[in-house]
C-alpha cells in the first residue's frame, strides 16, 4: 500500500451505551481511530422507497491494517462531515490493509 494514495482522513467510530443513575440508557458515538485512507469508490444512486425518494451513497476506503482496533460492521466511518455505516470489511493481503465498504442513505 503506497503512502501517496492515502490522501483522505477518516475517523472510525463505535457506539457506546451509557447508563445514567436514573437507569436510562443512552447511546453515543466515540472515536476509535483517525487514519489516512484511500477513497477507491464513490457512487450515488437514487431510488423510490416506502417513505419517498432516497439517495444511497456508497464509498469504499482502503486503510492500513490496525493492530489496536478490531473493526466490525457495527462501527461507522466519519468522512467529510458525513457518517457512513460499514457494510463489509475485506482484509487486503496478510494484515497489510483493510477495505471498508460503506453506505449512507439520505432522504
CATH number at residue 77: 2.40.10.270
pLDDT at 101 over 90: yes
27 burial level (CB within 10 Å; 0-12, 13-18, 19+): exposed
What is the Cα–Cα distance from 4 to 56, expressed in whole angstroms? 29
Q: Render pLDDT for 21-50 as a digit per residue (tens, 0 to 9).
A: 998 999 999 999 999 999 998 888 776 656
Average pLDDT, the chain: 89
In the block, cell 458515538 appears at 29
Average pLDDT over residues 73-82: 95
Beta bridge partners of 23: none
Average pLDDT over residues 52-67: 88
Domain total in the chain: 1
pLDDT at 88 over 90: yes
Range with the poorest average pLDDT among 15-24, 41-50, 54-63, 95-104: 41-50
Amino acid at each position: 500500500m503506497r503512502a501517496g494514495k492515502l490522501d483522505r482522513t477518516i475517523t472510525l467510530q463505535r457506539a457506546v451505551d451509557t447508563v445514567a443513575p436514573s437507569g436510562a440508557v443512552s447511546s453515543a458515538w466515540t472515536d476509535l481511530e483517525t487514519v489516512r485512507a484511500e477513497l477507491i469508490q464513490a457512487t450515488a444512486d437514487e431510488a423510490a422507497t416506502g417513505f419517498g425518494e432516497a439517495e444511497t451513497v456508497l464509498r469504499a476506503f482502503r486503510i492500513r491494517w490496525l493492530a489496536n482496533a478490531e473493526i466490525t460492521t457495527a462501527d461507522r466511518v466519519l468522512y467529510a462531515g458525513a457518517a457512513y455505516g460499514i457494510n463489509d470489511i475485506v482484509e487486503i493481503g496478510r494484515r497489510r490493509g483493510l477495505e471498508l465498504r460503506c453506505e449512507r442513505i439520505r432522504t
